[in-house]
Chains A and B, each alone.
Chain A
Amino acid sequence: MAKTLFEKIWEQHIIKTIDGGPSVLYIDTHFIHEVTSPQAFNGLNKRGIKVFRPQQTVATADHNVPTLNQHLPIKEELSRKQVEALIKNCAEHGVELYGLGHPYQGIVHVIGPELGVTQPGMTMVCGDSHTSTHGAFGSIAFGIGTSEVEMVLTTQCLLQSKPKLMRIHVEGVLNKGVVSKDIVLYILSKISASGATGYAVEFAGSAIRNLSMEARMTICNMSIEMGGRCGLIAPDETTFSYIKGRQFAPTGAAWDKKLNYWKTLFTDSDAVFDKEYFFDAADIEPMITYGTNPGMGIGVTATIPTPETINENDKSGLSKSLAYMGLQQGAPIKGQKVDYVFIGSCTNSRIEDLRMVAGFVKGKKKANEVEVWIVPGSKQVEAQAKAEGIDKVFEEAGFILRQPGCSACLGMNEDKIPAGKYCISTSNRNFEGRQGAGARTLLASPLTAAAAAITGVVTDVRELMN
């Protein structure tokens, strides 16, 4: 029978199915971090049991960590306690921890792929919704809650119901200045922030296949913003050559064996999806959000919607959103003043993102009033950026290259945007207060964010490109 990519992986990982209920899904790799794991470890300790498969668990500290002076003790007491609890729990349970100071430390969804831990055909989970990122390798990867973290720690399994299946095709060639972040913000603007709820989403089509692994990760990362259980892209030569040679990638005969398996991971030509969407890459322009959910995005040259022009889904929330954002319906977004620029998060903090920004800003200077934070996704990204002289380019432009972590993506550490200020951000969520109480977030690509850093206002990056 013809099968989708999702079904091939799913069926291989089902241990059994409860009558009329969920299935027991085996989890190959479990990532943990300091914020959503302590209560799970407490649960294990209460039951007096140890982590079942510690070798299949990878830990890092990212959500809460400072992005300056990481060599010093964490100042904020509660953050420090969470990080200390992670160190203690990992030591007691024999889990490898890439904590602060470790050369592999970084945002969990950046380090998994870059270490070669993330591989096609796997089931992967983490107590963080952007686990969907790893689906870019052709794996089933999704975010879970802390009770589920506890389940995986105790049994390496989860009870799951099979989601419905969606495929989103993007065909054709991207316009100048348009990158993968724009593709995903565009899809979101078309299908809304709940358009994929209940679905596993496969991204397909020539525009997707032509993307690098980093760019594919940006798309799968935001599949959760559509409500999707996970996002995935069939692995191909781009995937295999990305993995080859990484720290935890298979080698020798094991590589050949895996490669043979990975090559079977694609959707059969007559497999059936519950829902399919088709988009044309040529229709996409650099995107930006104006509202308070990631589906509220427009092309950078468009005007903010009015109740007449907005889609049904966001109609009722429009005036509340715009009041929060301090923006006017019907007004152009281009030219809107920006106070902060944040380039980072598991959506856009990989080396390719930093290269893209550096290539664009080289020889340019940031606008005086704008504060620019560039937060690399991992220690390895940071080291690579320095090796390539990217840090110098940033310095000359007046940008600050900080140290790795989630940072202003969720404002759990000190990196918060003050109330009422506008931040153009390469992260994934523009919810009220996400980047700090009262902060106003405009989501965009690294290029569009960099353009605003130079001009101080929302800018069509194409006008600054030669």
Chain B
Amino acid sequence: MARKLDIIQSTFVPLNMENVDTDQIIPARFLKATTRDGFGKNLFRDWRYSNDDEAQPKTDFVLNHTQYTGKILVAAKNFGCGSSREHAAWAIADYGFSVVVSSFFADIFKNNALNNGLLPVTVTEAFLQKIFAQTNTETITVNLQQQTITIDATGEQEIFEINGYKKTCLLNGYDDIDYLLSIKEDIVNYENNLV
């Protein structure tokens, strides 16, 4: 059972960088856990801290700027490329984000996000730049039912794509396993028909 999503209105954290790979989102040395919890504190670990030390935050990294908060992470294109580690999606969700906005997502990351109640919203490059141009107090509204993303201050809006099945899952908090278990008979039939 994943968490349910519908309308998310929140300020956002601007991560204006391209090609953010999952090794940056959660470095490999933090993949040693055997549970899904607690990854948020190591999100972007090596960009957040000098010498791997929480007492030495890097002042140039956006997560360390207290004026930026919110449930929406906004990143530049090709977000989530590289390793398939789902820990990247867990870390972003565990940190407190519900939505990631970018003009382009890597495939595996997108799937992993959707499987964890983290909504990837793909916008045009132009819209992305409009978001980055907003100040930190402005909010964005993502409406999953309507498939819209709106910059509240200006009313500018875009429609985003999402697979209909995935949308239903997110709205209701179902996951793929629930569905696959429900069609077990079809799976066994398929196997029996293999020559």
> Among A17-25, A244-252, A345-353, A382-390, which stretch is in contact with chain B?
A17-25
CA distance A147 to B116 in the complex (A): 8
Determine whether the beta carbon of A150 is less than 8 Å from that of B177.
Answer: yes
Indicate if A43 sits at the interface (CB-CB under 8 A). yes
Determine whether the beta carbon of B85 is less than 8 Å from that of A145.
Answer: yes
CA distance A12 to B112 in the complex (A): 25
In the complex, which residues 306-320 of chain A have their Cβ closer than 8 Å to any Cβ of chain B?
A: 316-317, 320
In the complex, which residues 178-195 of chain B have their Cβ closer than 8 Å to any Cβ of chain A?
A: 179-181, 183-184, 186-187, 190-191
CA distance A81 to B33 in the complex (A): 9
Determine whether the beta carbon of B104 is less than 8 Å from that of A39.
Answer: no
Indicate if B158 sits at the interface (CB-CB under 8 A). no
Given contacts A128-B84, A227-B107, A433-B24, contact A20 B164 (CB under 8 A): yes
Given contacts A39-B34, A411-B28, A411-B29, contact A129 B187 (CB under 8 A): no
Report A-chain residues with C-beta under 8 Å of the C-beta of B65. Answer: none
CA distance A98 to B23 in the complex (A): 27
Indicate if B115 sits at the interface (CB-CB under 8 A). yes
Report B-chain residues with C-beta under 8 Å of the C-beta of A39. Answer: 34-36, 86
Residue from B28, B106, B175, B180 in contact with A197 in the complex, judged by beta carbons closer than 8 Å:
B106
Determine whether the beta carbon of B34 is less than 8 Å from that of A194.
Answer: no
> Among A153-161, A370-378, A395-403, which stretch is in contact with chain B?
A153-161
Given contacts A36-B84, A78-B33, A155-B177, contact A21 B24 (CB under 8 A): no
Interface size range on A against B: 35 or more
Q: Mark B48-65, 1 if CB is under 8 A from A, else 0.
A: 000010000000000000
Report A-chain residues with C-beta under 8 Å of the C-beta of B112. Answer: 145-148
In the complex, which residues 42-87 of chain B have their Cβ closer than 8 Å to any Cβ of chain A?
A: 46, 52, 76-78, 81-87
Given contacts A79-B32, A143-B108, contact A432 B23 (CB under 8 A): yes
Given contacts A39-B36, A154-B180, A411-B29, contact A434 B115 (CB under 8 A): no
Indicate if B96 sits at the interface (CB-CB under 8 A). no
Given contacts A21-B163, A145-B115, A437-B27, contact A431 B21 (CB under 8 A): yes
CA distance A457 to B21 in the complex (A): 28
Distance in Å from the Cβ of A74 to the closest Cβ of chain B? 11
Indicate if A173 sits at the interface (CB-CB under 8 A). no
Determine whether the beta carbon of B108 is less than 8 Å from that of A144.
Answer: yes
Determine whether the beta carbon of A293 is less than 8 Å from that of B32.
Answer: no
A44 nearest CB neighbor, chain B only: B177
B51 nearest CB neighbor, chain A only: A437
Indicate if A193 sits at the interface (CB-CB under 8 A). yes
Determine whether the beta carbon of A147 is less than 8 Å from that of B104.
Answer: no
Count, chain B residues at interface, CB 8 A: 52
Q: Mark A121-165, 1 if CB is under 8 A from B, else 0.
A: 000000111000000000000011111101100111111010100
CA distance A239 to B78 in the complex (A): 34
Indicate if B92 sits at the interface (CB-CB under 8 A). no
Secondary structure at the A interface, as helix, strand, loop or mixed, is loop
Indicate if A380 sits at the interface (CB-CB under 8 A). no
Q: Mark A185-214, 1 if CB is under 8 A from B, else 0.
A: 000000001100110000000000000000
Determine whether the beta carbon of B183 is less than 8 Å from that of A129.
Answer: no
Indicate if A42 sits at the interface (CB-CB under 8 A). yes
Indicate if B150 sits at the interface (CB-CB under 8 A). no
CA distance A82 to B107 in the complex (A): 27
Indicate if B3 sits at the interface (CB-CB under 8 A). no
Report B-chain residues with C-beta under 8 Å of the C-beta of A156. Answer: 187, 191
Residue from B32, B34, B183 in contact with A24 in the complex, judged by beta carbons closer than 8 Å:
B183
Determine whether the beta carbon of A21 is less than 8 Å from that of B19.
Answer: no
Indicate if B111 sits at the interface (CB-CB under 8 A). yes
Distance in Å from the Cβ of A192 to the closest Cβ of chain B? 9
Distance in Å from the Cβ of A264 to the closest Cβ of chain B? 13
Determine whether the beta carbon of A161 is less than 8 Å from that of B163.
Answer: yes
Indicate if A410 sits at the interface (CB-CB under 8 A). yes
Determine whether the beta carbon of B29 is less than 8 Å from that of A412.
Answer: yes
Indicate if A85 sits at the interface (CB-CB under 8 A). yes
Determine whether the beta carbon of B104 is less than 8 Å from that of A194.
Answer: yes
A38 nearest CB neighbor, chain B only: B34
Given contacts A147-B112, A151-B180, A431-B82, contact A16 B186 (CB under 8 A): yes
Determine whether the beta carbon of B163 is less than 8 Å from that of A145.
Answer: no
Given contacts A197-B78, A429-B82, contact A155 B187 (CB under 8 A): yes
CA distance A78 to B34 in the complex (A): 9
CA distance A42 to B27 in the complex (A): 23
Distance in Å from the Cβ of A236 to the closest Cβ of chain B? 23
Report A-chain residues with C-beta under 8 Å of the C-beta of B83. Answer: 128-129, 410, 429
Chain B interface residues toward A at CB < 8 A: 17-19, 21, 23-24, 27-29, 31-36, 46, 52, 76-78, 81-87, 89, 104, 106-108, 111-112, 115-116, 163-166, 175-177, 179-181, 183-184, 186-187, 190-191
The 9 closest A-B pairs by CB, nearest first: A21-B165, A145-B86, A78-B32, A145-B112, A38-B34, A147-B115, A143-B84, A129-B84, A155-B180
What are 24 A-B contacts defined by CB distance under 8 Å?
A21-B164, A78-B33, A82-B34, A128-B83, A129-B83, A129-B108, A143-B84, A143-B108, A145-B85, A147-B86, A147-B116, A155-B180, A156-B187, A159-B165, A194-B77, A227-B106, A229-B107, A317-B17, A411-B29, A412-B32, A431-B82, A433-B24, A434-B28, A437-B52
Given pairs A129-B82, A432-B46, 5 additional interface contacts (CB within 8 A): A21-B163, A127-B84, A146-B87, A163-B107, A197-B107
